[in-house]
Amino acid sequence: MTAPLLARVAAKLAARQPLLIVAFGSSTTEGVGASGPERSYPSLLPGELARLAPDQPPARVLNRGVGGEAIDEMRARLQRDVLEEDPDLVIWQMGTNAAMRRMDPGYFADSAAQGIAQLLAAGPDLLLMEPQGGPAMRTVRHSPAYRNAVRALGRRFGVPVLRRYDLMHRWGRRYDAPLVIEDGLHMTDLGYALLAQATARAILRFARAGD
Across the range 103-119, mean pLDDT stands at: 97
pTM (2 decimals)? 0.94
pLDDT tens for 15-52 read: 999 999 999 999 999 999 999 999 999 999 999 999 99
Confidence of residue 190 (pLDDT cuts 50, 70, 90): very high
- Sign of torsion over alpha carbons 30, 36, 41, 42: positive
Integer-rounded Cα radius of gyration of the chain: 16
7-206 to CATH, choices 2.70.98.60, 3.40.50.2300, 3.40.50.1110, 3.90.870.10: 3.40.50.1110
Dist. CA 100–CA 178, nearest whole Å = 21
Distances 168 to 116, 165, 174 between C-alpha atoms, Å = 25, 5, 10
pLDDT tens for 57-91 read: 999 999 999 999 999 999 999 999 999 999 999 99
Instruction: Give residue 211's pLDDT.
Output: 42
Mean pLDDT, the chain, whole residue set: 93
pLDDT tens for 134-155 read: 776 777 778 889 999 999 999 9
Dist. CA 22–CA 93, nearest whole Å = 11
Sequence-ordered list of residues with C-beta below 8 angstroms from that of 16, at least 6 positions apart, any chain: 55, 56, 57
Instruction: Give residue 185's pLDDT.
Output: 81
Sequence-ordered list of residues with C-beta below 8 angstroms from that of 158, at least 6 positions apart, any chain: 5
pLDDT above 70: residue 1: no
Instruction: Give residue 189's pLDDT.
Output: 95
Q: Domain ranges in the chain? A: 7-206
